[in-house]
Amino acid sequence: MASLRGQLTLRGCVIGLVGCIVITASSVYTALKLGALPWPIVFAAIISLFFLRALGSRSLNEANVTHTIMSSGAMVAGGLAFTIPGAWMLGLADEISIPEILVVTLGGVALGLVCTGLLRRYFIEEARLEFPMGIAAAETLKAGSAGGKVGKKLFGTMGLAGLYTALKNFVPGIPAIFLGNVSIPGVAFGIYNSPMMLAVGFLVGTGAVMAWFAGAVFANFGIMVGGTAAGLWTTEAAGGIVSSLGMGLMMGCGFTVILKNILPAGVRALRRTLAERRGNAAGADVGAAGAAGAAASNAVALEGEEPLVGQGASRCDGAGASAGSIVGACGGAAIHGGAAPTAAASAPRGVAGLAALLVATAALALCLALGVHPLVSVAVVALTFVTTAMSAQSVGQTGIDPMEIFGLIVLLLVAAFSATAQAALFLIAAFVAVACGLAGDVMNDFKAGHVLGTSSAAQMTGQAIGAVVGSFVAVAVVVLLLGAYGPDVFGVGKEFVAAQASVVATMVSGVPSVEAFAIGIAAGMALQWAGLPAMMIGLGVYLPFYMSFTAFLGAMAKATFDAVQKRRQAGLSSDQRAQRQADAQETGLVVASGVLGGESIVGVILATLAVFAA
């Protein structure tokens, strides 16, 4: 393992924590405002490299650990934003206290860290899943040159976006939605006056946003306008059908990820583990025989002949095996280092003890915060282990972390087999979503670390620091927004759309159209199984049309930007073209991230001012 020295540093922690506070706060706002949360990993990698180089550091591993700290709070924020506001939509704001939210968040973080620590070796070193965002972060750190131009682009666009956001709020006459006066029954038509939404479309990419927009067109102009005009249903009924269908599509996608990707991988892992145990048992017998044979051959060996000890060593793959299993599997190959297994075995016991303590703490936190039966807490913790593995598998193969779907699955199971109060169900969903969201971020970071040779211990330590700080920041911002605007601004078609939390609220309170929901689940499973982006289609069906249309315009801006860059690069050599492409991609990423960050940060500042004004 690489040393922590020079990787987990004081300056890196300071830079990472400042960035963590900013990114976590903006992530809460973004998730609630737009119903989506882009991965901040590559953005954090660029910023970490920029500031460390400004301080004279050229270490990619230090930058990698710094960006791990910086991005660790974002998915914690997503886990909260995608679940807790659903309780406010049902009028349960007074039944969930700030300490309860904080305890559940910290419990989810603790369990998420334990699970990813246990899963890292399998998913990163053995299964070798892609984890595309982790690879992107590693390649960004390797190829990026974060100089003064990067800082000017980033902070310049952040400043402009923040200034525009402030003007929207303080200058009368600036509409929230352009073309909002176009009247189409049942369709919230227009262009969202939000640079952040354009940036999301730019960052997500043309293909995914096209699927998103296709879902929006089908729902609004197919079901809503077409179905109503044909006399199949009323506008009000069409609204229930559309929302139920969108929820079903997103849940169907989550189920398919489990059935297609996660469960088969789990079965393969179980078979491999059983095979390894059988091999280890056989290896122990061979090892004993090998030791005896070694002694005999050493006694009679002729000059120039070598004893037959440890010939299997070159074939023994140590990945995922403890020192003791290596000895058994290699049939006595480690006899010459007999003291090493004992020393190596002590560290895993200490780590296991810490992991057990964190798991027990998480279960106790659930009991105290939710007031539920201890068996329910134990069941939730056990199910969270399963869903965290599902999350890691999903992120590794698709780059998507449907954390709220996993939280919803556990919520529904608990509701089906216990008399748990509605408010406690939302806290359970938040607990699971935080753990799963953090797992996706951690595994991406581990993938980047594996590529760069970063110490996993340094990354895990940094992740824990950032996640704990991010927990306090995320809870503070969620509570701040609630205090500033009240519970009535959360929900589809309102100031904070909170689409995922709305799905959770709907599942707790009742689905408007069970038939459309069932069709959506079936269609989502079929589309995802066929390799089509069911989650994005479902998001388009569910969200208001003006949001999807604005994201579509952002994706078109990305397509135009790429086309212009391609024309400019015509006639260049392959090396020059590759460098120009990398520079253009970095510019687009930094500018779009700056726009997203600028509006979201100013949005949080405005919410803070509103609280003090009240």
Buried-exposed string 47-81: b where 16+ CB fall within 10 A, e elsewhere:
bbbbbbbeeebebbbbbbbbbbbbbbbbbbbbbbb
Output DSSP code: residue 123.
I
The pLDDT score that the predictor gives to residue 356 is 63
pLDDT of residue 331: 32
Q: Return the pLDDT at 545.
A: 92
Residue found by looking up tokens 């049309």 in the block = 545
pLDDT attached to residue 467? 95
* H helical segments located in 72-178: 74-81, 85-89, 98-120, 132-143, 148-170
Helix (H), strand (E) at residue 191: strand 191-192
Torsion of CA 414, 416, 418, 423, to 10 degrees: 60
* Torsion over CA: 98, 100, 105, 110 (sign): positive
Closest CA to 547 of 246, 257, 249, 164: 246
Q: What is the pLDDT of residue 284?
A: 58
* pLDDT score, position 398: 56
Which of 349, 321, 282, 356 is CA-nearest to residue 114? 356
State how far the Cα of 175 lies from the Cα of 201, in Å rounded to an integer: 21
Distance (Å, whole) CA 276 – CA 387? 25
Enumerate residue ranges in the chain where pLDDT < 50: 1-2, 145-146, 291-349
Measured distance CA(343)–CA(366) in Å, rounded: 36
CA separation (Å) from 242 to 91, 103, 216, 223? Answer: 23, 36, 10, 7
Model pLDDT for residues 159-205, shown as the tens digit of each residue: 898 899 889 888 888 888 899 888 899 898 999 888 888 887 887 77
| 143: number of Cβ within 10 Å | 13
The pLDDT value given to residue 59:
87
Sign of CA dihedral 60, 62, 65, 66: negative
| Whole-number pLDDT of residue 611 | 57
**Ranges of H-type helices in 218-262:** 228-229, 235-256
Predicted confidence at residue 484, as pLDDT, reads: 87
Give the span between the Cα atoms of 485 and 610, in whole angstroms: 8
Q: Annotate 251-290 with three-state secondary structure.
A: HHHHHHHHHHHHHHHHHHHHHHHHHHHHHHHHHHHHHHHH
Comparing CA positions, the residue from 437, 328, 342 lying closest to residue 41 is 437
Torsions phi, psi for 192 (to 5 deg):
-65, 125
For residue 16, how far is the Cα from the chain centroid? 18
**What is the predicted pLDDT for the residue at 93?**
87
* Predicted local confidence at residue 153, as pLDDT: 80
Tokens of 484: 């500033």
Tell me if 59 sits within 8 A of 52, measured CB to CB.
yes
